[in-house]
Structure 1
Amino acid sequence: MLADRYDAEFVRRNLLSKENYKPFPTCEERTEWLDVPQNVQRFWIEKAERKLNYSWPTITATQYMDFSRTGNRVKYDSLLLERRQDLASLVVAECIENQGRFMDDIINGIWCICEETFWGIPGHGYMMKRQDPLPDVTDPIIELFAAETATLLSWAYFLLKKKLDVSSIMVCERIHLEVKNRILDPYLQRTDFWWMGFNQERMLNNWNPWCHSNCLLAFLLLEDDQQRREEAILKAMRSLDKYIERLDSDGGCEEGPKYWIYAGGKLFDCLELLYGATSGSLDVFQEPLIQNMGRYIYKAYIDGNYYANFADSSAIVHIPAELMYRYGRRINDAKLSGLGAIELKKKREEATHVEFSTMFRLLSAVFHYREMEQDTGESPYIRDAWLGGIQVMVAREQEGSSKGLYLAAKGGHNDESHNHNDIGHFIVYYDGSPMIIDPGVGTYTSKSFFSERYSIWSNQSANHNLPLINGVQQLAGRQHRADQVIYTQEDSVASISMNIENAYADSAGITSWKRSISLIRDSNPSIEIKDNFQLERMTGDISLIIMTPHAPQFERIGIIALQDINDNKLMIRYDGEMFAASTDLIVLDDEVMSDVWGDQLYRIKLSAITAIDHGESIILINKL
Structure 2
Amino acid sequence: MLSERYVTGYLIEILHSRENYKPFPTIEERNKWSRMPACLKESWIDKGEGKLNYSWPTITATQYMDYSRTGNRVGYDTVSWKRRQDLASLVIAECIENQGRFIDDIVNGIWCICEETFWGIPGNGYMMKRQDPLPDVSDQIIELFSAETAALLAWTYYLLKTKLDEISIMVCERIHLEVKKRILDPYLNRTDFWWMGFNQERMLNNWNPWCNSNCLSAFLLLEDDPQRREAAVVKTMQSLDNYIQRLHLDGGCEEGPKYWVYAAGTLFDCLELLYGVSGGKIDVYQEPLIQQIGRYIYKAYIDESFYANFADSSAKVHIPAELIYRFGRRIEDARLSGLGAMVQKKKREGATDLEFSSMFRLLPALFNYTEIEHYTGESPYIRDAWFDGIQVMAAREQEGSSKGLYLAAKGGHNDESHNHNDIGQFIVYCDGSPMIIDPGVGTYTSKSFFKERYTIWTMQSAYHNLPIVNGVQQLEGKQYKATDVHYHKEDKLGSLSMNIAAAYPHSAEIKSWIRSISLHRDSYPCIEIKDSFQLKRVTDDIALILMTPHPPQIEVTGSIVLQDQDHNKVIIRYNGEMFVVSSDKKSLEDEVMREVWGDQLYRIKLKTITAMDQADCIIKISKF
Q: TM-score, normalised by structure 2?
A: 1.00
**In structure 1, C-alpha distance between the alignment counterparts of 2:2 and 2:146, rounded to whole Å:** 25
**In structure 1, C-alpha distance between the alignment counterparts of 2:602 and 2:352, rounded to whole Å:** 36
Q: CA deviation at 1:349?
A: 2.4
**Which residue number in structure 1 is paired with residue 318 of structure 2?**
318
**Which residue number in structure 1 is paired with residue 180 of structure 2?**
180
**In structure 2, C-alpha distance between the alignment counterparts of 1:295 and 1:159, rounded to whole Å:** 33
**Which residue number in structure 1 is paired with residue 398 of structure 2?**
398
**Which residue number in structure 1 is paired with residue 574 of structure 2?**
574
**Which residue number in structure 2 is paired with residue 138 of structure 1?**
138
Q: CA deviation at 1:247?
A: 0.6
1:93-117 Cα distance to aligned partner (Å, 9 max, x none): 1011000010000000000000000
**In structure 2, C-alpha distance between the alignment counterparts of 1:560 and 1:157, rounded to whole Å:** 60
Residue pairs, 1:362-381, within 5 angstroms: 362-381=362-381
**Which residue number in structure 2 is paired with residue 158 of structure 1?**
158
**Which residue number in structure 2 is paired with residue 486 of structure 1?**
486
**In structure 1, C-alpha distance between the alignment counterparts of 2:547 and 2:11, rounded to whole Å:** 53
**In structure 2, C-alpha distance between the alignment counterparts of 1:231 and 1:454, rounded to whole Å:** 41
SS of the residue 2:5 aligns to: coil
Opposite residue 36 of structure 1, the aligned amino acid is M
**In structure 2, C-alpha distance between the alignment counterparts of 1:8 and 1:541, rounded to whole Å:** 64
Unaligned runs of 5+ in 2: none
Q: Is residue 552–residue 562 contact of structure 1 (8 Å, CA) maintained in 2?
A: yes
Opposite residue 523 of structure 2, the aligned amino acid is S
Q: CA deviation at 1:7?
A: 1.5
Q: Is structure 2 residue 175 aligned with structure 1 residue 149?
A: no
1:420-442 Cα distance to aligned partner (Å, 9 max, x none): 00000000000000000000010
Residue pairs, 1:60-459, within 5 angstroms: 60-459=60-459
Opposite residue 391 of structure 1, the aligned amino acid is Q
1:111-143 Cα distance to aligned partner (Å, 9 max, x none): 000000000000000000000000000000000
Opposite residue 554 of structure 2, the aligned amino acid is F
Q: CA deviation at 1:529?
A: 0.2
Q: Is residue 148–residue 214 contact of structure 1 (8 Å, CA) maintained in 2?
A: yes
Q: Is residue 83–residue 109 contact of structure 1 (8 Å, CA) maintained in 2?
A: yes
**In structure 1, C-alpha distance between the alignment counterparts of 2:56 and 2:265, rounded to whole Å:** 31
Q: Is structure 2 residue 456 aligned with structure 1 residue 474?
A: no
Opposite residue 212 of structure 1, the aligned amino acid is N
**Which residue number in structure 2 is paired with residue 495 of structure 1?**
495
Cα 1:10–1:539 shift into 2, 3 Å: farther
Opposite residue 258 of structure 1, the aligned amino acid is K
Q: CA deviation at 1:345?
A: 1.2
Q: Is residue 437–residue 549 contact of structure 1 (8 Å, CA) maintained in 2?
A: yes
1:222-278 Cα distance to aligned partner (Å, 9 max, x none): 000010010001011111001000011110000000000000011011000000010
**Which residue number in structure 1 is paired with residue 11 of structure 2?**
11
SS of the residue 1:355 aligns to: coil
**In structure 2, C-alpha distance between the alignment counterparts of 1:366 and 1:28, rounded to whole Å:** 17
Opposite residue 123 of structure 1, the aligned amino acid is G
**In structure 1, C-alpha distance between the alignment counterparts of 2:223 and 2:404, rounded to whole Å:** 54
Q: Is residue 307–residue 317 contact of structure 1 (8 Å, CA) maintained in 2?
A: yes
Taking only aligned residues, the RMSD between alpha carbons, in angstroms, comes to 0.5
Q: Is residue 8–residue 234 contact of structure 1 (8 Å, CA) maintained in 2?
A: no
Opposite residue 352 of structure 2, the aligned amino acid is T
**Which residue number in structure 1 is paired with residue 24 of structure 2?**
24
Residue pairs, 1:533-548, within 5 angstroms: 533-548=533-548
Cα 1:503–1:10 shift into 2, 3 Å: farther
Q: CA deviation at 1:8?
A: 3.2
Equivalent pairs, count: 624
1:364-400 Cα distance to aligned partner (Å, 9 max, x none): 1001100111111110000000001100000000000
**In structure 1, C-alpha distance between the alignment counterparts of 2:114 and 2:531, rounded to whole Å:** 58
**In structure 2, C-alpha distance between the alignment counterparts of 1:449 and 1:31, rounded to whole Å:** 47
Q: CA deviation at 1:504?
A: 0.4
Opposite residue 68 of structure 1, the aligned amino acid is S
**In structure 2, C-alpha distance between the alignment counterparts of 1:224 and 1:33, rounded to whole Å:** 27
SS of the residue 1:119 aligns to: coil
Q: Is residue 52–residue 102 contact of structure 1 (8 Å, CA) maintained in 2?
A: yes
SS of the residue 2:17 aligns to: coil
Opposite residue 54 of structure 1, the aligned amino acid is Y
**Which residue number in structure 1 is paired with residue 620 of structure 2?**
620
Q: Is residue 463–residue 603 contact of structure 1 (8 Å, CA) maintained in 2?
A: yes
Q: Is residue 223–residue 229 contact of structure 1 (8 Å, CA) maintained in 2?
A: yes
**In structure 2, C-alpha distance between the alignment counterparts of 1:150 and 1:101, rounded to whole Å:** 24
**Which residue number in structure 2 is paired with residue 33 of structure 1?**
33
Q: CA deviation at 1:346?
A: 1.3
Q: Is residue 410–residue 425 contact of structure 1 (8 Å, CA) maintained in 2?
A: yes
Unaligned runs of 5+ in 1: none
**Which residue number in structure 2 is paired with residue 50 of structure 1?**
50
1:263-301 Cα distance to aligned partner (Å, 9 max, x none): 001101100000001000000000010001010000000
**In structure 2, C-alpha distance between the alignment counterparts of 1:21 and 1:513, rounded to whole Å:** 59
Q: TM-score, normalised by structure 1?
A: 1.00
Q: CA deviation at 1:555?
A: 2.8
Q: CA deviation at 1:156?
A: 0.6
**In structure 2, C-alpha distance between the alignment counterparts of 1:371 and 1:421, rounded to whole Å:** 43
